[in-house]
Structure formats: structure tokens, C-alpha cells
Amino acid sequence: METGIWHFIIILLIFILIVWIFGRILNKAGRSRWWVLLIFVPIVNFIMIWVFAFTKWPRLE
């Protein structure tokens, strides 16, 4: 089975969509958008989501 340029484009679009969505969430939470890079680190991503879910969001105050 041959992988073509379309596979690469689809995976790249999915990657960009994930980064954009989580970047907006982190921005609304008052965090830096650079935190989104931790989503792609195994185990750390679960810890990061858990911590952000239960900490106070500065923008809500």
C-alpha cells in the first residue's frame, strides 16, 4: 500500500485542528498557548488535563 501526499495532508490538518482547539481552551483558561505542546507527550498529557481541570481559571474571576 502506497502512502501519498494526501495522507500527509490529512494528518497535518488533524494536527493543526487539535493544536488550535486546545490552544483556544488554554487561552480562555488564562494559560499560555505553549502548554498545548504537552498534549503530544505521553502520560504528561493526562496529568496536564487533570491539573487544568481542577485548578482555578484566572479568567473566570
Q: Which residues contact 30 (CB under 8 A, 6 or more apart)?
A: 57, 58, 59
Predicted pLDDT at 22: 86
Note the maximum CA span of the chain.
54
Domains of the chain: total: 1
What pTM was computed for the model?
Answer: 0.66
**In terms of pLDDT, which residue wins out, 38 or 58?**
38
Q: What is the pLDDT of residues 36-52, one digit of tens each?
A: 888 888 898 888 888 88
Domain that holds residue 23: 5-60
Q: Is the per-residue pLDDT at 31 higher than 90?
A: no
C-alpha cell at 5: 501526499
**What is the mean predicted confidence (pLDDT) over 8-22?**
92
Contact 32, 26 (CB under 8 A): yes
